[in-house]
Structure 1
Amino acid sequence: MSLKSFGAKIFAKHIRNKIDKWASQPEETQQKVFLELLAKASNTQFGRDHDFKNIKTYSDFAKNVPVRDYEQLRTYVDKMVAGEPDVLWPGKPLYYAKTSGTTSGAKYIPLTKESMPSHINAARNAILCYIAETGNAKFVDGKMIFLQGSPEMEEKNGVKLGRLSGIVAHYVPSYLQKNRMPTWETNCIEDWETKVDAIVEETLKENMSVISGIPSWVQMYFERLQQKTGKKVGDLFPDFELFIYGGVNYEPYRSKFENLIGRKVDSIELYPASEGFFAFQDKQNERGMLLQLDAGMFYEFIKADEFFDENPKRLTIGEVETDVNYVMLVSSNAGLWAYNIGDTVQFTGTKPYRVIVSGRIKHFISAFGEHVIAKEVEEAMQLAVSKTNAQISEFTVAPNITPANNELPYHEWFIEFEKVPEDLSKFSNILDENLQRQNSYYFDLIEGKILQPLKISRVPQNGFQQYMKSIGKLGGQNKLPRLANDRKIAEVLEKIINS
């Protein structure tokens, strides 16, 4: 055992004990964070506008501070970006994480001196929890790759800005710098396909032990490795034993990954976002990710099916239930207040509080009142894949409201298969029956002959990469929406299929 892996085991035990302490006191931990945030921001423009000094309870806060998304918070953000200090948080931010908004153009999410540690420590703590649980630390001596955006940054009125993953790349601890791949120069390549080819060349003869990234883009890296060498990834990297991922559900990709690797490897799920690093998987055999309750973020939740009501009830951590779909709000030491991040989550447990990401509040299908969410289609896909030995590269779902020949409407599943099931009709039936079991509204629509069962449209190989490239979102931290209530994506995919 190396000195580094021995030290990692000791440190892992220490961090695990600290985590267990705050996780066992969830409401007290959140109350402490809540009061600290209010006190710190009371003299900011936002704090004065919302009378922070006279807020004594959560009830006061909910009355004074309405739920906002980026567009509704934008007047404050614009002041910050223009260079004004003390707007949402004392002083100026350290950085802006620049993301592409769907309606608002570029979004500038502030990252402050106080919020940056949570982005760094959460990923570290996820790995340390894995070491504490399994006793396995030998991978710390191998090479680690993090497929991410370019670390190059611009500057706007004295504040640096860039992609979140690129900003975080500046904070890789010194003890990991020698292990970290790819090189800085390769990481700065903007074109994703060129970057992946360069990463393949750099890592081909390295002792890779940890690989991290969004599954769809890691898959592309694995496929390029296999094309280059004709070998399984697990044969190229015999010490590869830990895959760390976030952004999308890994389960639909798992069988494809295991085929590319040639064996099973352990995995850790993360829940990072520009607005905060919210959760990470802390146990290998527990479903869900541990919600970060002591990381400078105060959470509120609104039931997703009540979110668009006039005055939906806002809940704190002690009021949530398992297996309910919630919109998650966050107030943070980055200067976000009752901020709707757009994600929906479900709690898998409350002792401690663990969550799964169930979808996006704007990403669902409810063309007929069915309100099908990402979690439901992903679980249906997972079951269909496991029961037919099929393998998929990517998929998305859209409604077809006015099909030809006076057919009943249906949900159209666009699927890029790596391995097509022997019986596509059976695969389709498993998908549809499972979706009906999960979603009673969908079941009623099928039973009532309002909808016909779903149909599958096969997307050609690399068709989804072609789609993402066409909209300028190939690679990095970009994610394909799992489903949509319109046919904007479907229309592009139809052209790719027909071509």
Structure 2
Amino acid sequence: MIDTLLTWMVKPRMVRLERMRSEPHATQREVLQDLLQTARHTDWGRMYGYADGLNAREFAQRVPVSSYEQLYPWIERVLHGEDDVLWPGRVQWFAKSSGTTNARSKYIPVTPQSLEDCHYRAGRDMVAVAQTLYPEAGILRGKTLSLGGTHVPNPFRPDDPASRVGDVSAVIMQNLPAWAESRRTPPLELALLDEWEEKLERMAQHVLHENVSCLAGVPTWMIMLLRRVSELAGGRPIPEVWPNLRLFMHGAVAFGPYRELFRQLIPEAQMRYLEIYNASEGYLAFQDQPDSQDLLLLLDHGIYYEFIPIDELGKEHPRTLTLEEVEVGPSYALVISTNAGLWRYQIGDTVRFTSVAPYRIRISGRTKHFLNAFGEEVVVENADAAIAAAAATTGALVKEYTAAPIYFSTGEGSRGGHQWLIEFSQPPASEAQFAQVLDETLRQLNSDYDAKRHRDIALQPPVLTVAAPGTFEQWLARRGKLGGQHKVPRLSNNRELLEELLS
């Protein structure tokens, strides 16, 4: 019955995805017009004349690119319960995202339209793609084990118990339709617990006896859960606990550093992996090809995209490109307008296109997460690849890492550098070789880094510092950020985070 249902579901979704691939520009024009038409009578829409029937060029000329801080006065009104501010109606749900480069949390509106036409539509499309790629896996014959955060009452609206804020995964799970919730484990009362240590233990005890065929979540926390499940099963390997497990849909962090850990837990011949790009602001892309790191940009899921060339970042009025104007290769800062009322919003991620027919991307970093203290312009994508190469060469398993600059000192001949704080699940055969391969790979991937490393003139070789077991978890726990989609920034352009971790 499930296979028949899947066949019925998959065909129209794959047809629509194919139209998105073959007619991307028309699709995006339709999305923009639908967004502007829907929001024309909101306070924001009236302010910028959405009722005038703007085209893409006029939209970009009238409406400024906004950071969260710039848009916050409007979001704050929405948080307090005002109607028709950025999007029609009153918004009841908000995805709370820790601003990883500053202390203030971000509250992203989540409207019924963004849940249904973005997150859930993309989720159904992801299932359709998985079923098409791996029909033998039978991913819905069992249950999907999904990890998430929690939600709490909206602190800006204490008199309205229906208004809630929380991790985007918790918002999505709480509002799932009944049929989808019936295919998921563990039950909501466990999945939404706010105390991570208790949640991990109780979830492991529950899912131990479930028929799990699919995993969904952040690799960091999924590894912890799988290890605990194996322990509770008397040390039995995961394939014996869940013989029907075939697929892991993962996101939030790059999967490269975790691949070997999963390979040890679950034989590769049994397991398939698909990456998703699902943020608090929306479901933006997913992997639609096997054995590929490229993600298909989702163009008809209520999000209109624009792109800022990297050399325009920091300008008061940065130049933006439409989808038709981007090229393969360069990194761009992502700007989105959504059916949750985010308008020309700079999400903070940078992407680069690996294909424009269809439009496929890789996440290259964060606009605020990079190493560029000396003009080296190292982005997260470079760092992940170099860490993976060093681990593979030295037989290491990397659990977590972060890196920061070593600034010039006042001494004669002083040079800058990078300090890499790495927590290993399995240490390298040689720490010196690990640091050497890390350095060599970065030089191969990044010409700016290579130029600064030439003859050690500007940058000294990387300094490797091994973190004690549990360092990164303790740092997250002290900030109440264990579990959910919380993660430690990989790269920082100052030493504040690194010094906190070292202490």
TM-score of the superposed pair, with normalisation by structure 2: 0.93
Matched letter for residue 429 of structure 2: E
Structure 1 residue 421 corresponds to structure 2 residue 428: yes
In structure 2, the residue matched to 1:122 is 122
Structure 1 residue 260 corresponds to structure 2 residue 265: yes
Matching residue within 252, 266, 272 for 1:247: 252
Residues 168-216 of structure 1, C-alpha deviations (whole Å, 9 max, x = no match):
1123343343332112221232111111011111111222211111111
Contact 1:322–1:349, Cα closer than 8 Å, also in 2: yes
Q: Is the deviation greater in 6-15 or in 155-164? A: 155-164
Q: CA deviation at 1:403?
A: 6.6
Matching residue within 62, 74, 77 for 2:75: 77
Residues 349-381 of structure 1, C-alpha deviations (whole Å, 9 max, x = no match):
111111121111001111111121100000111
Matched letter for residue 254 of structure 1: R
In structure 1, the residue matched to 2:405 is 399
Q: CA deviation at 1:492?
A: 2.1
Q: Secondary structure at the match of 2:421?
A: strand
Runs of 5+ consecutive residues of structure 1 not aligned to the other structure: none
In structure 1, the residue matched to 2:459 is 451
Structure 1 residue 356 corresponds to structure 2 residue 383: no
Q: Secondary structure at the match of 1:140?
A: coil
Q: Is the deviation greater in 390-399 or in 181-190? A: 181-190
In structure 2, the residue matched to 1:408 is 415
Matched letter for residue 352 of structure 2: Q
Q: Is the deviation greater in 296-305 or in 166-175? A: 166-175
C-alpha distance in structure 1 between counterparts of 2:106 and 2:452, whole Å: 38
Contact 1:244–1:268, Cα closer than 8 Å, also in 2: yes
Q: Is the deviation greater in 222-231 or in 416-425? A: 222-231
In structure 2, the residue matched to 1:442 is 449
Structure 1 residue 236 corresponds to structure 2 residue 244: no
C-alpha distance in structure 1 between counterparts of 2:185 and 2:59, whole Å: 45
Structure 1 residue 212 corresponds to structure 2 residue 210: no
Q: Is the deviation greater in 260-269 or in 378-387? A: 260-269
C-alpha distance in structure 1 between counterparts of 2:215 and 2:377, whole Å: 35
Residues 459-484 of structure 1, C-alpha deviations (whole Å, 9 max, x = no match):
11222111211222111110111110
Matched letter for residue 111 of structure 1: V
Matching residue within 285, 298, 306 for 1:300: 306
Trace 1:176-187 onto structure 2 (pairs within 5 A): 176-187=180-191
C-alpha distance in structure 2 between counterparts of 1:100 and 1:255, whole Å: 29
C-alpha distance in structure 1 between counterparts of 2:379 and 2:311, whole Å: 11
Give the number of equivalent residue pairs.
493
Query: Residues 327, 180 of structure 1: CA spacing in aligned structure 2 closer, same or farther, 3 A cutoff?
Result: same
Structure 1 residue 376 corresponds to structure 2 residue 379: no
Q: Secondary structure at the match of 2:321?
A: coil
Runs of 5+ consecutive residues of structure 2 not aligned to the other structure: none
Trace 1:185-204 onto structure 2 (pairs within 5 A): 185-204=189-208
In structure 1, the residue matched to 2:141 is 141
Residues 211-243 of structure 1, C-alpha deviations (whole Å, 9 max, x = no match):
111111111112222343323222322211111
Structure 1 residue 174 corresponds to structure 2 residue 184: no
Q: CA deviation at 1:57?
A: 2.2
Q: Is the deviation greater in 131-140 or in 401-410? A: 401-410
Q: CA deviation at 1:262?
A: 4.2
C-alpha distance in structure 2 between counterparts of 1:151 and 1:74, whole Å: 21
Q: CA deviation at 1:154?
A: 4.3
Contact 2:416–2:458, Cα closer than 8 Å, also in 1: yes
C-alpha distance in structure 2 between counterparts of 1:382 and 1:420, whole Å: 13
Percent identical across equivalent pairs?
35
Query: Residues 403, 254 of structure 1: CA spacing in aligned structure 2 closer, same or farther, 3 A cutoff?
Result: farther
Q: CA deviation at 1:327?
A: 0.5
Q: Is the deviation greater in 172-181 or in 5-14? A: 172-181
Trace 1:22-171 onto structure 2 (pairs within 5 A): 22-54=20-52, 56-101=54-99, 102-103=101-102, 105-117=104-116, 118-150=118-150, 153-154=153-154, 156=157, 158=160, 160-163=163-166, 164-171=168-175
Contact 1:152–1:166, Cα closer than 8 Å, also in 2: no
C-alpha distance in structure 1 between counterparts of 2:114 and 2:259, whole Å: 33
Matched letter for residue 421 of structure 1: P
Contact 2:131–2:139, Cα closer than 8 Å, also in 1: no
Q: CA deviation at 1:136?
A: 2.7
Q: CA deviation at 1:42?
A: 1.6
Matched letter for residue 224 of structure 2: M
Trace 1:9-24 onto structure 2 (pairs within 5 A): 9-24=7-22
